[in-house]
Amino acid sequence: MPTTGHTIKAFDQDLDRLRASIAEMGGLAEAAIAGAMRALIDRDVNAANAVIENDARLDALEAEVERQAVQVIALRAPMANDLREVVAALKIAGVVERMGDYAKNIAKRVHAIEPGADLQPLSLLPEMARITGDMVRMVLEAFIRRDPEQATQVSERDRAVDDFYNSIFRTLLTFMMERPQSITAATHLLFVAKNLERIGDHATNVAEMVYFAATGTHLAEREKGGDPARG
């Protein structure tokens, strides 16, 4: 059991290394969201391809975090709280990798939208993307600093993302009804909005893990997902 000063220090260093890898993942995910959104607005297929290719780095980092975490557990045999931190790191890496997948999905839609498509409802999406990107950055800062206050703020911002999603959903449906020729393009934008909404949900899930790890109590239960189809 790691009770000597030397071993505890080694464990802390291992944990710092894990945290650094996760922070790097967060930076990549944030950049992927912003990059995918820019590519979508500019209809820039090359920029979209760059986002798609960069996702491999996120996948590799997640595998690296898993490898590191398993090694830390095997080598340091951490107990109770320390073990929970390593497991939390493992889970958070998985969530951030999925955020990257959603950003990649957004980038993949750039190919599918014809250059001439009339996409007026696009105007709300960039702001929604900005807020979800902020949530990703904030929640990983909260994780690194073990800051339950900031985790709470992330959870609160998710309401704004849900409101954006509801608004975009309604706007796009009306748009489709008025211009049947835009249905294909509008459908892709609907999935883009849904992907952003899921990123916001995942950031909130991480916020809940960070809050619980820091305080031992759960953030108040909220209904997830801002889909007007729900409830």
Pick from 9, 184, 215, 222 the residue near a copy of itself by CB under 8 A.
184
Least Å distance, CB 176 to a copy of itself, is 5
Q: Does the protein bind a copy of itself through residue 50 (CB under 8 A)? A: no
Q: At what angle do helices 5-42 and 45-76 cross, to 10 degrees?
A: 170
The answer to whether 32 touches 103, Cβ cutoff 8 Å, is: yes
Q: Greatest CA separation found in the chain?
A: 71
216 binds a copy of itself (CB under 8 A): no
Q: How many C-beta neighbours within 10 Å does residue 212 have?
A: 16
**Tokens read off for 73:** 């557990």
- Residue number, 132 or 182, with CB nearest to a copy of itself: 182
Number of residues that bind a copy of itself (CB under 8 A): 37
Q: Which is nearer to a copy of itself, 50 or 173 (CB)?
A: 173
Does residue 74 belong to the site contacting a copy of itself (CB under 8 A)?
yes
The residue within the footprint of a copy of itself, chosen from 194, 206, 208, 226 (CB under 8 A), is: 194
80 binds a copy of itself per the rule CB under 8 A: yes
Q: Is 94 in the site for a copy of itself (CB under 8 A)?
A: yes
Give the integer Cα–Cα distance in Å for 136 and 197: 12
If binding is defined by CB under 8 A, does position 188 make contact with a copy of itself? yes
To a copy of itself, the closest distance from the beta carbon of 66 in angstroms equals 7
Given a contact cutoff of 8 angstroms between Cβ atoms, the answer to whether 169 and 143 are in contact is no
Under rule CB under 8 A, residue 63 binds a copy of itself? no
DSSP 97-155: HHHHHHHHHHHHHHTTS-TT---GGGGGHHHHHHHHHHHHHHHHHHHHHT-HHHHHHHH
User: 3-class SS at 159?
Assistant: helix
**Interface with a copy of itself, residue 176, by CB under 8 A:** yes
Determine the residue type at 26: G
Chain residues binding a copy of itself by CB under 8 A are 66, 69-70, 73-74, 77, 79-80, 83-84, 87, 90-91, 94, 105, 108-109, 111-112, 173, 176-177, 180-181, 183-184, 187-188, 190-191, 194, 225, 227-231
